[in-house]
Amino acid sequence: MTRLPREFFARPVLDVTRELLGAHLTHGGVTVRITETEAYAGDRDPGSHAFRGKTPRTAPMFGPAGVTYVYFTYGMHWMLCLVTGQPGSAEAVLVRAGEVVDGHEVAAERRSGVRERDWCRGPARLATTLALDGSHTARDFCRPPLGEVPPIALSLTAGDPVEDSRVQTGPRVGVSGPGGDGTAYPWRFWIDTEPTVSAYRPGVIRRRTS
């Protein structure tokens, strides 16, 4: 199968987020069909890591489309984002969930004791199943290699198209946003009835205590 070209990712983040549903993501001997995604839109998005500007951690988000942003969260989990849009826009898609379609034996070894439905049911589980960590951030996943950005053995290829009637949208998981409930940013996309889609939980507004 042919890799999705850089031009596919160098578009508005919401378009890419929707169209990645059904695509195949391969790394570490495992291939997953993407069933859930979330969009993050840089300095126009309070839920984005890049909302307050560029930092050493978020620098990959400001690069060209077709580069990874892999970050550590809650002191224990890695998450995979795919940079989209134009350089400097800091737009990216968080790959939230997927179904393993190849490399089942490798995935089963990495996820020992976990039922298959849950291997990639959530972004941290997906990164674990695909053997992704911080060494894989700021890496070019398109071809040919882009300038000084080192390539990565990660590929995205088109799968079977997902009909609009099967696509659901709603607030992002764990992101409150304006109004406190996240509904101002219905930027989570998922395939309806897919058992691998992660459970929704609303964001929590943290208030300072005196």
Residue 149 tokens read as 């950005």
Residue 29 tokens read as 């001997």
Which neighbouring-strand residues pair with 72? 78
Q: Are 132 and 124 in contact (CB under 8 A)?
A: no
Q: What is the CA radius of gyration of the chain?
A: 16
Structure pTM?
Answer: 0.91
pLDDT digits over 91-139, tens only?
999 999 999 999 999 999 999 999 999 999 999 999 999 999 999 999 9
H/E stretch holding 107 reads helix 104-110
- Which domains occur in the chain, in start order? 6-191 (3.10.300.10)
pLDDT digits over 163-210, tens only?
999 999 999 987 866 655 667 789 999 999 999 999 887 765 554 444
Q: Are 129 and 120 in contact (CB under 8 A)?
A: yes
The CA-atom distances, in angstroms, between 28 and each of 31, 55, 152, 195 are 8, 29, 11, 23
Residue 199 tokens read as 């459970």
The reported pLDDT for the residue numbered 2 is: 82
> Parallel, antiparallel, or unpaired: how do β-strands 77-84 and 30-41 relate?
unpaired
Length of the chain: 210
- Residue for token pair 């042919």: 2
Burial 187-197 (b: 16+ CB within 10 A, else e): bbbbbeebebb
